Amino acid sequence: MTLSELYLTLLIGGTVLLASIAAARTADRIGLPSLLLFLAVGVIAGEDGLGLEFDDAQLAQALGTAALAVILVEGGLTTQWSDVRRLLAPAGVLATAGVAVSVVVTAAGAHWLLGMDWHLALLLGAIVSSTDAAAVFAVLRALPLPQKVTALVEAESGFNDAPTIILVLAFATATTDLPGPAPLLGNLLYQLAVGGTLGVLIGRLGVAALRRIALPATGLYPLATVGFGIIAFAAAGAVNASGIIAAYLSGLVLGNAKLPHRAATRSFAEGAGWLAQIGLFVMLGLLVDPSELPSAVLPALVVGLVLLLAARPVSVLACLLPFRGISWREQAFISWAGLRGAVPIVLATFPIVAGVTGARDVLNIVFVLVVLFTLIQGPTLPAVARRLGLTRPGALREIQVETAPLDVLDADLLTATIPQRSRLHGVAVFELRLPTPTVVTLIVRDGTTIVPDRDTVLRADDELLLITTPDTREATERRLRAIGRRGKLARWLGEHGAPKPEPTTAARSG
Secondary structure letter of residue 160 according to DSSP = T
* Burial of residue 216, with CB atoms counted within 10 A of its CB: 0-12 exposed, 13-18 middle, 19 or more buried: exposed
Choice between 258 and 30, residue whose per-residue pLDDT is larger: 258
CB within 8 Å of 404: residues ≥ 6 apart: 218, 260, 261, 412, 413, 415
Q: Which pLDDT score, from 0 to 100, does residue 507 have?
A: 38
> What span, in angstroms and rounded, lies between the C-alpha atoms of 135 and 123?
22
So what's the pLDDT on residue 396?
46
The secondary structure of residue 131, as a DSSP letter, is: P
The percentage of residues in the chain with a pLDDT greater than 70, rounded to a whole number, is 88
Q: Mean pLDDT highest for which of 152-156, 289-293, 301-305?
A: 301-305
The CA distance from 230 to 487, in Å, is 42
Rounded Cα distance between 82 and 159, Å, is 17
CA distances from 440 to 78, 398, 417, 443 (A): 27, 19, 13, 8
**pLDDT above 80: residue 173:** no
Angle between helices 133-140 and 34-45 (to 10 degrees): 130
In this structure, is the dihedral angle defined by the CA atoms of residues 254, 269, 86 and 397, taken in order, positive or negative?
positive
Beta bridge partners of 439: 467
- The DSSP code sequence of 402-421 is EEEEETTTTEEEEEEEPPTT
Greatest mean pLDDT among 120-129, 153-162, 187-196 lies in: 120-129
pLDDT of 407 higher than 60: no
Residue 482 parent element (H or E): helix 473-486
Q: Which residues of 29-52 are buried (b: 16+ CB within 10 A; e: fewer)?
A: eeebbbbbbbbbbbbbbbbeeeee
The helix or strand, by DSSP H or E, that contains position 231, with its residue range, turns out to be: helix 220-238
What distance lies between CA 455 and its chain's CA centroid?
Answer: 43
Residue 115 has pLDDT above 50, yes or no: yes
Are the C-beta atoms of residues 45 and 16 closer than 8 Å to each other?
A: yes
CB atoms within 10 A of CB 2: 7
| Distance separating alpha carbons of residues 22 and 16, to the nearest angstrom | 10
- Mean pLDDT is lowest, of 264-273, 358-367, 395-404, for 395-404
- Among 165-169, 197-201, 259-263, top mean pLDDT goes to 197-201
User: What is the C-alpha to C-alpha distance for residues 414 and 409, in angstroms, rounded to an integer?
Assistant: 14
Half-sphere exposure in the Cβ direction for 104 (13 Å, CA): 8
pLDDT, position 459? 92
Average pLDDT of the segment spanning 23-50: 71
Tens of pLDDT, residues 420-431:
889 999 999 999
- How many residues are recorded in the chain? 510
- pLDDT for 402: 56
Q: ω into residue 163 within 30 of 0, thus cis?
A: no
If you average pLDDT over every residue of the chain, what do you get? 82
Measure CA 388 to chain center.
24
Q: Mapping DSSP to helix (H, G, I), strand (E, B) and coil, where does residue 491 land?
A: coil
Q: Which amino acid is at 260?
A: P
One-letter identity of residue 351 = P
- Identify which of 340, 465, 456 has the alpha carbon closest to the alpha carbon of residue 415: 465
- At residue 135 the predicted structure's pLDDT band, cuts being 50, 70 and 90, is low
Pair 191, 240: CB distance under 8 Å: yes
C-alpha span between 114 and 121 (Å, rounded): 9
CB 253 within 8 A of CB 80: no
CA dist., res. 180 & res. 271, Å (int):
42
Burial of 233 per CB tally in 10 Å (0-12, 13-18, 19+): buried
pLDDT value for 136: 67
Q: Which residues contact 471 (CB under 8 A, 6 or more apart)?
A: none
Chain centre to alpha carbon of residue 86: 18
Are 146 and 327 within 8 A, CB to CB?
A: no
Full set of structural domains in the chain with CATH: 55-387 (1.20.1530.20), 401-500 (3.30.70.1450)
Q: How far apart are the first and last CA of the chain?
A: 59
Share of the chain above pLDDT 90, in %: 19
pLDDT of amino acid 500: 67
SS3 130: coil
Spatial distance between the Cα atoms of 401 and 399, rounded to a whole number of angstroms: 6
| 424-476 pLDDT per residue, tens | 999 999 999 898 889 999 999 988 889 999 899 999 999 999 998 888 888 89
Calculate helix-pair angle for 118-128, 161-173, nearest 10 degrees: 160
